[in-house]
Structures are given as structure tokens and as C-alpha cells.
Amino acid sequence: MWDEAPAPYHPTVVDVAFALEGKEIPFDHGQLLWQELTRVLPGLAMVKDIGVHPIRGARTERDTVMLSRRANLTIRLPRSMTEKLARLSGAHLNLGESTLIVGKSKLRELAPHSAIHSHFVTTGHPEEMAFAADIEEILKARDIPCKMVCGKSNVFRTADGEVTVYSLALYGLTDEQSLALQETGLGIHHEIGCGVFVPHKSFSPVGA
């Protein structure tokens, strides 16, 4: 009798991407953005497994991010909760001296890839060696024997003070491992843009 192939992994979370109108926001905008999102939708603070992607753009010498016309506000949350985000469309979000206007949204399914990355990850430890040890311990506990590369560090504000964040790439993943890590993220402060992973299609490990 033939062994049945394992069922494909289906993440319980999905990305909801909103179009944005705006010009320039602080580079360290995660906490400001989370405060505004929970102002418009107070119930978001109670949603488990939520993650807010950093808003991408070109970093300036003023430590701001210039937004392109393709800039998005992307929120990762349980599939069953996506309808609760409908009220965000049309909202005005004030990030310091900057204002963002939220447009229409689209659902985006998580996509598996052998390499994934997050621009900002924190475990609470400011030292890179301690941070890397934390990540290795988490991956070992989850039985995910992948490779990792730590990158540039930054210091971000949170509701509880400042934290040191590192960029992090993980590679050598199976499809299931890739989706599982994107589903749960790594580290803490996912609500302000930390530990939220996406496929890293251009990644090439040293020596490859």
C-alpha cells in the first residue's frame, strides 16, 4: 500500500495590504503606527498573532523614509479576523508630523521560499551574540535546522522603552518550515514591525 503524501501546510494567517498616500515618515515608525492603528481599531490590541510589516521606502539622511506610490501598509493576522480591518480604508494615520491616508486593501497569501528575511528582529537582548543565541535556541526548540545571517542593527522605540533590533535572514528551509516561521514570526514586538518575515528571493549565501 502506497504511503500517502503529507498534507500541504496551510497557514492560519494572511497578509492584508492597504494602498497608502503619503510622502515621508519617520524611519522608526513602528510604535507610532501601532498607536494609530489601535486608535482607529481599538480591537486590534486584543488580536493574537498579529504582525505589522514595516512600511518600506528610501531612507534619507534625516532618518526618515520617503514613500513611493507603491507603498503599502501590510498587516498579518489570522484569516478569520481580516474583515475587522475594513474600517482602516479611508483612515488618516498621524505619524509624528506626517499623515498617511489608507486606501483599498488586498489579501495576500503567505508564499513559501527556502530563504526568508525580516528587516528588524529583537529578542530583547541588545548584544548580537546574545541575540543570535536566542534565535538559535528558538529554532532548535522548533526543530528547524536552518542557517542564519544577522545583519545591521538599529534602535527602535517601543511602549516600554528602546530595543535593539537586527536584520535577519534564514535559509535552507523547507516549504513547511518557511510558512511556519512566516506564520509565527520570531522574537517579540511583532506589532511594531519586528520579527515579521517575508520571502528573500534574491538571497544568496556566501560561498554559494
* 126/90 same-domain check: no
* 38/124 same-domain check: no
* 123/194 same-domain check: yes
Range of the domain at 81: 13-108
Phi, psi of 27 (to 5 degrees): -60, -45
Tell me, what's the pLDDT at 201?
77
* 76/119 same-domain check: no
The CA distance from 43 to 39, in Å, is: 9
CATH number for the domain spanning 142: value is 3.30.70
* 128/41 same-domain check: no
Q: How many domains does the chain have?
A: 2
CATH number for the domain spanning 60: value is 3.30.70.1890
Closest CA to 74 of 153, 18, 119, 136: 18
Cell numbers linked to 182? 512566516
pLDDT one-digit tens code per residue, 144-179: 999 999 999 999 999 999 999 999 999 999 999 999
User: Which stretches of the chain are DSSP H helices?
Assistant: 30-40, 128-141, 175-184
pTM: 0.91
